[in-house]
Amino acid sequence: MQTNVKDVYAAGDCASQFNKVKQKNDYVPLGTHANKQGMIAGQNLAGESVTFKGMTGTSILKFLDLQIGRTGLSEKEANDLSLNYDSVTITTRPVAGYYSDEETLTVKLVFEKETKHLLGGQIIGHKGVDKRIDVLATALFHNMTTVALLDLDLSYAPPFNGVWDPIQQAAKRTL
């Protein structure tokens, strides 16, 4: 977090962040990055040697009764970066199908066409968006493929999920 001026540090909305997916500095001013960068700047000021590990551009918001989450690249961003990408979009249930058929969840995955590396995801629905987008954010942070998403041991009981989580259902469509 040290700037180009020795002993002057920058963190939060006045600093950029390394975007792990784009592999370059980016500007996504959020409280999540501000707090991590503030802690890291403080540790370095106190004599430690710590680096900010980057971000993937994860955010979530509530619009009326809709939950909307994103991580990584949108299709437009992948296109702007001239990446060889593909995408899948599915609409499914956030809980077991026989448990409630009232709500739906729409999941979109953006991934590299050849390697199937995850590039991003967007999820919209009335419930369960937060846990899915955070699983995708973790997968993205650790450079996982959509195929590897199928191996994840995710929680299932009828009030919470189907046996295949919605992001795994979407990942199956990328095979």
Q: Of the two residues 12 and 42, which places its CB atom closer to ligand FAD in the complex?
A: 12
Residue 116's alpha-carbon distances to 62, 89, 124, 145, 158, in angstroms, are 30, 15, 22, 5, 30
- Please report, as residue ranges, which positions from 1 to 20 form the binding site for ligand FAD (by CB under 6 A): 12-13
Q: Which residue is nearest to ligand FAD (CB)?
A: 12
Q: How many residues bind ligand FAD (CB under 6 A)?
A: 7
Site string for ligand FAD, 21-60 (x = CB under 6 A): --------xxxx-x--------------------------
- Shortest distance (Å) from residue 89 CB to ligand FAD: 25
Starting from the edge strand earliest in sequence, which strands make up the sheet with 59-63, in order?
59-63, 66-72, 118-125, 105-112, 85-92
As a residue count, the chain comes to 175
Question: Could you tell me the smallest distance in angstroms from the CB atom of residue 30 to ligand FAD?
Answer: 3
Query: C-beta of 32: minimal distance to ligand FAD in Å?
Result: 4
Residue 24 sits at φ, ψ, to 5 deg, of -160, 170
If phi over 0 gives left and psi between -120 and 50 gives alpha, with beta otherwise, what is residue 86?
beta
Give residues in contact with ligand FAD (CB under 6 A): 12-13, 29-32, 34
